[in-house]
Structure 1
């Protein structure tokens, strides 16, 4: 909520508003002068706000003390917490009593004074100590309150039968109430398989039945885990607010996708009866007493639908999703997130781009959304209490108190529709405090409002004291209130246009304060956060306003709602484009220690940079030089990067990326162009490798087989690059990963073909021949290729169906074996092309150097360099010592990514030629 910034000492005049006339009343201001001043400031392009006096920080120490106490005492022993609360309560009462008795027993005129009328030193000391008692007492009382509430909340989580049952991993039948929107777990790769995606939801166990038949009422928070094979719950509380008939929709549905959608469609406050196994909470520090993994028997059943407000919110959110169904993919995914925090359509690729550019706060609905809505109602912040205020309220003839009541109703509706997340709660409480000041006509600074919001929220829900989201929200708001005004004024003095100065100061202040916490969470620092936030900010307001209009109209008429959503898609698409473009820059971020010591170091570096930037205007040449250097660091032009870092080495032909336990390799095909073979398990890692190599165009992406450690990183290859075609094996196992590749390729309109032995290709200086898998029903299209001798061997699994290639690159001969195992390797060594495999320059060792290798093929290939892609400390023991020994016995130089990092091969190859290998 926006509010007039003021709060200076009594009796001091404040330009732009009413000034206190001494202690007894207020002096009216000349209306004509006020109007003239408003016009003058508007002509300058500056917002009409009061010139702030000294910051009112009196509520900050109590709020911080309560915050720290709540964080420390949530899981502390009850006796220790009780002692702390009683001691602080007693101390606060004693201090307040002493202050009151001191005032009653010593009137002001009885204070000792000197002949010149000044108070003696003892009197001044007594007065100072008297004034100090109240703040100290306030801190002690807030600590006592925070310790009491945090102790009660912590004990509430630990009490009851559920924690004890979880420690025994008991199987129970429980009645639970969903307390938040369900979401999908992040996809993870375990070995060569992707862990199944589960539906997660926060809930409260209201009744639990043990296996002996006894039933106990309770109220314990748990985390529901619903695996992909669990049927949909009987009933059907979907996000449309319960349009389906209870007890029929979803009953008996076991299809994975439909069942998952039914679970994701559950609204908060829905009650379920489920069977499952309890387990201890995976992590501490949050209000979760246990994990309840739902089982299919007995079948989950909905016993009570969501509450009326939640149904209304569900219908509104579902209407917005329907209105955005026909929009382009990015706008379709982003607009519900901007408006009501619905991120269900955000793809992992887009989510990663927002993280790289520190724009994630736009996906989580926050106080900025509420501020935009209230600005429409009230007008500019500085005019909220004046007769010349703008917005819709004065045009509707609303008084100040009527405006406050309408804004309060709007805030309440905003919280219900957007869900009470930490940032939404903080914005709502801060807005409520400021609205109260508006309704009573009293001046309040936003810093006390923020402190009051923090204090009330921590006392209401002490678990927020350990929430990173809440911490980032408060830090960002505090930076906008404390740092941004001064920085904006400094920029104006240096002739920066006012609006640009305000936007730049706000983005820089929020980034400077939040960056250390972000570094703890992501172990990186974004170098493009400030410019990306500036570019995105211009589109946030129109996208939010149009999106909320579409939300309202969707419940009345879908035609206007779709039109408004189409208009909102343009600014939403702009925001997504900014995120993708910023994330695609080679130097978008740098690694940083993801720990609190690392955060302190980053804070110190930030302070040093701020002090240095203040001096830069005196040295314009240094400022210009540093700006150019920053641009070069972010853009990282390949020629300059190669000169400075030596990576990639000049003339490289083949590179093996360090992507952990998986495969991702690149064949150079010209400036900025490369044929990529496999994508590894992590999109971020393969994207980082391709950025360093300067690859922006991929004429062909070969996915040797569909195991997750080779294909899960596909979105990283596509990020910011043009991919002309994808070629895969014809053995579509595992089916979920094959379907993932097909879906991603179709979404990007990339042709998907199947590789078959005998196929040849060429691009730039590269040429290759597919060696495996053999044709299953017909001979290869190349009539000169010999027919496959005998029956075609059936693959035992995805590994034996891997695409194997023989590549020629600038004189080098490279044999890439995918994950072929001994049966396929033996068949390949006896195939018509076996003679071409003899004496290769480089061998990409099959299956991460596992022990399952064909010695005959290794002897036949006799590579000069053998490269193994494997993850550090992987649980499979790759590479096997026997495999490494066999390769070295044949004279090969063996290098591995877990120890040597990323590898690049160059040289002329062939008999008498050289082969150069560089490590990053």
Structure 2
């Protein structure tokens, strides 16, 4: 008998070939990166950006416009901005020198938020040529894939060249899908174009955040699953794609293998054009094209080498993809589905799980295991509901995608037919949105985690250690059931159990100041699960989380003391998942844009808005309060929104008195003292304007609070709270607590037992 022995020289030659291939790929990558980096330094644009020069430029649009969520800066929200990738082809410097260039830039257009110019910017298609006047600035990061940021002057875009025929056709198809979905329910109307072609222009911020909290954002990025669903319609499952018994439409139409591969290639390229060349789309398309090439040539296919080849080709073509989080997550998830998921599926089936369910659970768990460390490094959070939410959403993705693409294709031919198909797709699309909203609304949907590479590495190590433990433990049904129950408890976080474990909220709390950063949001206990909310903070997430932790599910009244963004921008978070009876506001609609935001948000939630009246008295459960300010009868004319803050004197059934001053400035504080000479001493003072130095000492002496609470953000640029104000409060006999050091603060007890409980004691 002859035993074959592999020659050592053959192994050496194989290893040398592989090593040479690695070196060749590294050299090609370095050369490509160098050439792309040179594009960022070539020409006059980088130097003009360093000088922050005003220029007139001719630019070609290279991406879809995308609105940026306005951020709150102090009392106002940053102006709405529309961002798009572009390439400067001609630039005229301040001295009149005009130069032909090819320099990538980030184009930012500040808009009014609701005007016609917003729609004109958002309707721009790739390859459109614009003439833009504005100011250049250097990019914020050294690794940004553009040479400068061009801030366009306010106003509608000025197009000097239309989009190409290809992009115009793709734009018409996308517009047809949007028109077909116009009559759908709000969630389906906004979500379906995102599921089908990645058009997220209609998705509201609260739904976007729900997708982020549940790690479902890959559904909005047009991941490889979308292309897979489309290709399966043509060629059937990947395992049978090259056999004579292959599935899909191609064999039923008598199409040969090579023609099938060619049609699949055309379909893939059309998919990229319509859905735009986003990182996940490019990765999926490259893998699909390599697989189709193998089908057409009759060669043996393996999806893992196809993935590796696709990544290599794409990074050589565009080295900036190597720094793209979306591209990295797409590659990691696909790799996990090809390598880890099959083994986990087999293990689950060996433990008695049905094959289909085992495959779905293994796929979701594998993708989450490899992607979670990257998400944690970028977003400083870990989703505890990602796997069940992905499993539930996946049930509806395929029908929504198929019917959505059918509506997309039918729209140019018959809009009634497209609307009928969109109506069918609305049911699964609405299901996906409901899964995201329900998962995100759970108290323990997300857990905070250290950010940066250390946080990502820590989660990767923790995940690996957990998998080792699970693998070594003998399988026991009671153990698996116990782990599932623990996870459910961690996600649902029943208030009584959380109170026992964490001590928060303290039993019998009467007033709570939420930790919302540089802003105000407070709650007055009005019964079991009920609270009157005064102000909403600068962001929806912190106030929503605070009210969930307090167990508040019903809000008979939301009082917004004035319309500054750090008091009203978080209103959607108060309305999220709660029964709200009424919103009350000050009568001064300043700033007008933020006042309009409050009325739009209330109208969308069908909650009435009413002004607060001087001297008005109201009750809610154990609460009794009176509106003390603004007081037009005194002749005082507010100079701004702060001076028009609604001020409340609150009494509880247990005898606790609270004075909530909003952001009153010293002139209005003195007016308050004159208007109410019999103002009593109070137990709790919500210090005005985040503890700024602008306080009236006489009012502080008259109020003589036992507890003074300051809502203030950490490391804020305003110097709040002022040491002078803190000293004055302490001299008046008050114990001072501040959210930047103590976290959320709750007041409990009454009389001699009155005390403040800090969630995070210093």
- TM-score tier, shorter chain, comes to over 0.9
Q: Please say if 1:806 is aligned against 2:649.
A: yes
Query: What is residue 33 of structure 2 aligned with on the other side?
Result: 150
State the secondary structure of the residue aligned to 1:894.
Answer: strand
* Alpha-carbon distance in structure 2 between the residues aligned to 1:729 and 1:181: 40
Q: Please say if 1:914 is aligned against 2:758.
A: no
Query: What is residue 662 of structure 2 aligned with on the other side?
Result: 818
How much does 1:125 deviate? 3.2
Query: What is residue 580 of structure 1 aligned with on the other side?
Result: 437
Q: How many residues align?
A: 759
* Alpha-carbon distance in structure 1 between the residues aligned to 2:358 and 2:614: 62
Q: Please say if 1:869 is aligned against 2:752.
A: no
- Counterparts of residues 112-191 of structure 1 (less than 5 Å): 124-191=7-74
TM superposition score normalised by structure 1: 0.81
Cα deviations by residue, 1:204-253 (Å, 9 ceiling, x for unpaired): 01011223322211100001111226xxxxxxxxxxxxxxxxxxxxxxxx
Computing the radius of gyration from Cα coordinates, the structure with the larger value is: 1
Q: Please say if 1:289 is aligned against 2:153.
A: no
Q: Please say if 1:845 is aligned against 2:728.
A: no
Cα deviations by residue, 1:702-743 (Å, 9 ceiling, x for unpaired): 111100000111111122222221111111111111111111
Query: What is residue 30 of structure 1 aligned with on the other side?
Result: none
Cα deviations by residue, 1:279-330 (Å, 9 ceiling, x for unpaired): 1112222310001112359x95311100001100111111111111121111
Query: What is residue 441 of structure 1 aligned with on the other side?
Result: 298
How much does 1:119 deviate? 8.7
* Alpha-carbon distance in structure 2 between the residues aligned to 1:897 and 1:366: 41
| 8 Å Cα contact 2:283/2:310 also seen in 1 | yes
Query: What is residue 262 of structure 2 aligned with on the other side?
Result: 405
Cα deviations by residue, 1:802-849 (Å, 9 ceiling, x for unpaired): 111111223211111111112221121122x442x3111100011111
Query: What is residue 892 of structure 1 aligned with on the other side?
Result: 734
How much does 1:913 deviate? 5.4
- Counterparts of residues 230-249 of structure 1 (less than 5 Å): none
TM superposition score normalised by structure 2: 0.97
- Counterparts of residues 544-559 of structure 1 (less than 5 Å): 544-559=401-416
- Cα distance change on mapping 1:913 and 1:342 into 2, 3 Å: same
* Alpha-carbon distance in structure 1 between the residues aligned to 2:616 and 2:673: 18
- Counterparts of residues 695-714 of structure 1 (less than 5 Å): 695-714=552-571
Partner residue of 1:357 out of 214, 218, 237: 214
- Counterparts of residues 83-122 of structure 1 (less than 5 Å): none
Cα deviations by residue, 1:452-509 (Å, 9 ceiling, x for unpaired): 1001101111111111110000000000000011111111111111111111000000
| 8 Å Cα contact 1:616/1:622 also seen in 2 | no
Q: Please say if 1:219 is aligned against 2:59.
A: no
Query: What is residue 36 of structure 1 aligned with on the other side?
Result: none
Query: What is residue 780 of structure 1 aligned with on the other side?
Result: none
State the secondary structure of the residue aligned to 2:184.
Answer: coil
Query: What is residue 271 of structure 1 aligned with on the other side?
Result: 129
Query: What is residue 796 of structure 1 aligned with on the other side?
Result: 639
* Alpha-carbon distance in structure 1 between the residues aligned to 2:702 and 2:269: 74
Query: What is residue 366 of structure 1 aligned with on the other side?
Result: 223
* Alpha-carbon distance in structure 2 between the residues aligned to 1:360 and 1:762: 43
- Counterparts of residues 425-824 of structure 1 (less than 5 Å): 425-616=282-473, 618-774=475-631, 788=633, 790-791=634-635, 793-809=636-652, 810-824=654-668
| 8 Å Cα contact 2:742/2:758 also seen in 1 | no
Partner residue of 1:261 out of 119, 123, 139: 119
| 8 Å Cα contact 2:747/2:754 also seen in 1 | no
Cα deviations by residue, 1:99-143 (Å, 9 ceiling, x for unpaired): xxxxxxxxxxxxxxxxx97799xx843232122111111111111
* Alpha-carbon distance in structure 1 between the residues aligned to 2:381 and 2:4: 57
* Alpha-carbon distance in structure 1 between the residues aligned to 2:560 and 2:28: 60
* Alpha-carbon distance in structure 1 between the residues aligned to 2:558 and 2:24: 64
- Counterparts of residues 5-154 of structure 1 (less than 5 Å): 124-154=7-37
State the secondary structure of the residue aligned to 1:618.
Answer: coil
* Alpha-carbon distance in structure 2 between the residues aligned to 1:304 and 1:409: 28
* Alpha-carbon distance in structure 1 between the residues aligned to 2:674 and 2:337: 71
* Alpha-carbon distance in structure 1 between the residues aligned to 2:135 and 2:333: 41
State the secondary structure of the residue aligned to 1:361.
Answer: helix
Cα deviations by residue, 1:340-391 (Å, 9 ceiling, x for unpaired): 1111111111111111110111111121100011111122222212222222
| 8 Å Cα contact 1:649/1:918 also seen in 2 | no
* Alpha-carbon distance in structure 2 between the residues aligned to 1:689 and 1:814: 20
How much does 1:620 deviate? 2.8
State the secondary structure of the residue aligned to 2:115.
Answer: helix
Partner residue of 1:380 out of 207, 216, 237: 237
- Cα distance change on mapping 1:296 and 1:659 into 2, 3 Å: closer
Unmatched runs of 5 consecutive residues or more in structure 1: 1-115, 230-254, 777-787
How much does 1:405 deviate? 1.5
| 8 Å Cα contact 1:841/1:915 also seen in 2 | no
Cα deviations by residue, 1:844-891 (Å, 9 ceiling, x for unpaired): 011111111122211111111000001112111111112111111111
Bigger shift: residues 255-264 or 373-382: 255-264
| 8 Å Cα contact 1:655/1:903 also seen in 2 | yes
- Cα distance change on mapping 1:266 and 1:645 into 2, 3 Å: same
* Alpha-carbon distance in structure 2 between the residues aligned to 1:720 and 1:615: 42
Unmatched runs of 5 consecutive residues or more in structure 2: none
- Cα distance change on mapping 1:547 and 1:300 into 2, 3 Å: closer
| 8 Å Cα contact 2:261/2:295 also seen in 1 | yes
| 8 Å Cα contact 1:580/1:720 also seen in 2 | no
How much does 1:413 deviate? 0.8
| 8 Å Cα contact 1:275/1:300 also seen in 2 | no
Query: What is residue 97 of structure 1 aligned with on the other side?
Result: none
* Alpha-carbon distance in structure 1 between the residues aligned to 2:342 and 2:605: 44
* Alpha-carbon distance in structure 2 between the residues aligned to 1:396 and 1:762: 73
Cα deviations by residue, 1:71-119 (Å, 9 ceiling, x for unpaired): xxxxxxxxxxxxxxxxxxxxxxxxxxxxxxxxxxxxxxxxxxxxx9779
How much does 1:773 deviate? 2.1
How much does 1:256 deviate? 5.9
* Alpha-carbon distance in structure 2 between the residues aligned to 1:686 and 1:849: 20
| 8 Å Cα contact 1:173/1:275 also seen in 2 | yes
Runs (4 or more) in structure 1 with deviation over 4 Å come to 116-120
Cα deviations by residue, 1:3-26 (Å, 9 ceiling, x for unpaired): xxxxxxxxxxxxxxxxxxxxxxxx
* Alpha-carbon distance in structure 1 between the residues aligned to 2:320 and 2:169: 28
* Alpha-carbon distance in structure 2 between the residues aligned to 1:393 and 1:141: 39
State the secondary structure of the residue aligned to 1:555.
Answer: coil
| 8 Å Cα contact 2:85/2:107 also seen in 1 | yes
